[in-house]
Amino acid sequence: MNVYTPPNYSKEKQYPVLYLLHGIGGDETEWERFATPQHLLDNLIADGKASPMIIVMPNGRAQKHDRPEGNVFRSAPAFAAFEKDLLNDVIPTIESRYSVSAKREHRGIAGLSMGGGQAVNFGFANMDKFAWIGGFSSAPNMKPPSELIEDTDRVRQQMKMIWLSCGRKDNLMSFSQRLHTYLSENEIQHSWNVDSHGHDPTHWRNNLYHFLQVAFRD
């Protein structure tokens, strides 16, 4: 995993943590290659538009050969298996090595495409761990809304932010749209951002930029 720490990081403070997940063809370096989240957040913090936080960018492909090589679609099951790695290994490692808060209110999860599906699946399945969820043009690995959300009252009461986005030119629009509709019908507050892009880095970078400005803020 790659880990971003904010300017003037201090062990005297406890920081919120965002676990930021890549797509099916990416790895722990994908976000840094096209979105430079470290620069986005440095600038947002300097302008007072974002809370200082730690961003963890892990490899979400839980299999022995974890490089995005060959037919990357065959690794889809490994992305589901990553849930156990995240909960049992990644989060405890971060909390043992960095000065972070272990409260659910200070922990978020977001991702693009396959990672967006992971973020939504893992976030709703572990609301005792996450209070902030971001799915940017989430892939078909995202579970149907009725499987994701068994207790709508609990989601309304405990979830701080649900951010969903997709581009109008994205062939995967129907999956995010389905969840957006379900949340709306059940009066679950969320953000739904649709832009003119497709399934592409510009959409993901823009939505990360917006998401960082609301994460860990009331």
Q: Tell me how far apart the alpha carbons of residues 180 and 58 are, in angstroms, rounded to a whole number.
A: 27
Q: Tell me how far apart the alpha carbons of residues 79 and 69 are, in angstroms, rounded to a whole number.
A: 15
Its pTM stands at 0.96
User: Per-residue pLDDT tens for 88-101?
Assistant: 999 999 999 999 99
Q: Are 166 and 206 in contact (CB under 8 A)?
A: no
Q: For 58-72, 95-109, 124-138, which range has the lowest pLDDT when averaged over its residues?
A: 58-72
User: Per-residue pLDDT tens for 182-217?
Assistant: 999 999 999 999 999 999 999 999 999 999 999 999
User: Per-residue pLDDT tens for 12-70?
Assistant: 999 999 999 999 999 999 999 999 999 999 999 999 999 999 999 999 999 988 887 88
At 104, is the pLDDT very low, low, confident or very high (cuts 50, 70, 90)? Answer: very high
State whether the Cα torsion 166-90-160-148 is positive or negative.
Answer: positive
Quote the distance between the C-alpha of residue 175 and its chain's center.
16
Q: Tell me how far apart the alpha carbons of residues 218 and 197 are, in angstroms, rounded to a whole number.
A: 29
pLDDT of residue 218 exceeding 80:
no
Which domains can be identified in the chain, with CATH numbers? 2-64+74-212 (3.40.50.1820)
Q: Please name the residue that has the structure tokens 């979400």.
A: 60
Q: Tell me how far apart the alpha carbons of residues 150 and 147 are, in angstroms, rounded to a whole number.
A: 6
